[in-house]
Amino acid sequence: MEQKIVNVFLASPRGFCAGVDRAVEIVKKTINKFGSPVYVRHEIVHNKFVVENLRSQGAIFIDELSEIKNKSRPVIFSAHGVPKKVIDEAKLNNIIYIDATCPLVTKVHREAEALAKEEFNIIFIGHRNHPEVIGTMGQIDEKFISLVENKKDVENYSPKINNNKFAYITQTTLSLDDTLEIISVLKKKYPSIKEPIKSDICYATTNRQEAVKKIAKKCDLFLIIGSRSSSNSQRLVEVAKKFGCKESILMHSDQKLPIEKIKNSNNIGVTSGASAPEILVENLIKEIKSIINIRVEEVITSVEKVSFKLPTMLIK
């Protein structure tokens, strides 16, 4: 009996974005320049494979600067950004620091600062306790900024400053569609609310979600490679489910391959979050190939040509 061939639709763009590329390169170049060890505050990006690889090259990952045993060693701040008090602490202790914050996150930081200067009530759409949210809220006095996670939070929101000036900003890795729903409720409540000139949701988050939307409806199973702590990867799972593939699974480091589901599928979608390296996609395809006959088709919805400059101190 002839064995069936299963279609594997490979979403493109997928995987590393320019901000992640830059952050990983910053760690490698810092090790090259200063020798090991170098400290990294928090996971440089949300991916276990990437973190372990950098650890093997001489990076030591810490949660707080107080854990740095040798203050003469440099510390790198993760791509998610840090509150201003962390930078102040590094300066106070004369610690050399290299900021690997994604430039698109830095853009949101500057927006928050500018709005606070004009004394706006800033409504920040994001996920509580995510490092990017902690970093952004830590740029300004807390009296200017409030976090909302959903439409209900908007309904329950009351301003901290009584001046009728409202503005919103967003975390860069949110679901485009969910955020638009929250924004529409905000605009209904505050018709004159000031919005960012250009969307805060990053190009890579948007592109990866659009690529998933394109193929989700024809897939019986969608496998998304990414970490449980990766906001943009979690959003890809939600988008795949919302746009037609109910059986969407986050393939994090502890997730076993769903062999029976793969065998029972005719069409499988595959993508990876912005902090997942391409080798993990290649390994997943190999694993699927060892179970069934497959035909791989890459579905390209856009081509990314963005790159970000490295900090000057690492170029010299």
Q: Is residue 313 domain-resident?
A: no
Q: Is residue 175 domain-resident?
A: yes
Q: How far separated are the first and last CA of the chain, in Å rounded?
A: 64
* 175 and 215 inside one domain: no
- pLDDT confidence band for 2 (50 / 70 / 90): low
Instruction: Supply the pLDDT for residue 3.
Output: 76
* 98 and 119 inside one domain: no
* 122 and 187 inside one domain: yes
- pLDDT confidence band for 271 (50 / 70 / 90): very high
Q: Is residue 314 domain-resident?
A: no
* 261 and 211 inside one domain: yes
pLDDT tens for 24-50 read 999 999 999 999 999 999 999 999 999
pLDDT tens for 122-132 read 999 999 999 99
Q: Is residue 165 domain-resident?
A: yes
Q: Is residue 311 domain-resident?
A: no
Q: Assign residue 252 the CATH number of its domain.
A: 3.40.1010.20
Active site residue 132: yes
Task: Reply yes or no on whether the pLDDT at 170 is more than 70.
Answer: yes
- Mean predicted confidence (pLDDT) in 85-106: 98
What residues contact residue 77 under an 8 Å CB cut-off, 6+ apart? 41, 86, 87, 97, 98, 99, 100, 101
Q: Is residue 267 domain-resident?
A: yes
Q: Which of the 8 DSSP states describes residue 274?
A: T
| Whole-angstrom distance, CA of residue 305 vs CA of residue 71 | 38
Which among 89, 119, 132, 260 is annotated as catalytic? Answer: 132
* 74 and 24 inside one domain: yes
User: Where among 102, 135, 156 does a domain terminate?
Assistant: 102
Q: Is residue 310 domain-resident?
A: no
* 97 and 143 inside one domain: no
Q: Is residue 255 domain-resident?
A: yes
At residue 8, the 3 state secondary structure works out as: strand
Task: Reply yes or no on whether the pLDDT at 168 is more than 50.
Answer: yes
- pLDDT confidence band for 1 (50 / 70 / 90): very low
Q: Distances from the Cα of 209 to the Cαs of 14, 204, 212, 268, 285, in angstroms?
A: 9, 8, 5, 16, 20
Task: For residue 213, count other CB atoms closer than 10 A to its CB.
Answer: 18
Count of H helices and E strands in the chain?
12, 12
User: Where among 102, 133, 151 does a domain terminate?
Assistant: 102
* 291 and 223 inside one domain: yes
* 207 and 296 inside one domain: yes
Tally the domains of the chain: 3
Residue 65 structural domain: 18-102
Q: Assign residue 41 the CATH number of its domain.
A: 3.40.50.11270
Task: Reply yes or no on whether the pLDDT at 167 is more than 60.
Answer: yes
* 132 and 95 inside one domain: no
Check whether the bond before 74 is cis (ω within 30° of 0).
Answer: no
* 108 neighbors 136 (Cβ within 8 angstroms): yes
* 127 and 115 inside one domain: yes
What pTM, to 2 d.p., does this model score?
0.94
* 177 and 263 inside one domain: no
User: Where among 73, 102, 131 does a domain terminate?
Assistant: 102
* 212 and 254 inside one domain: yes
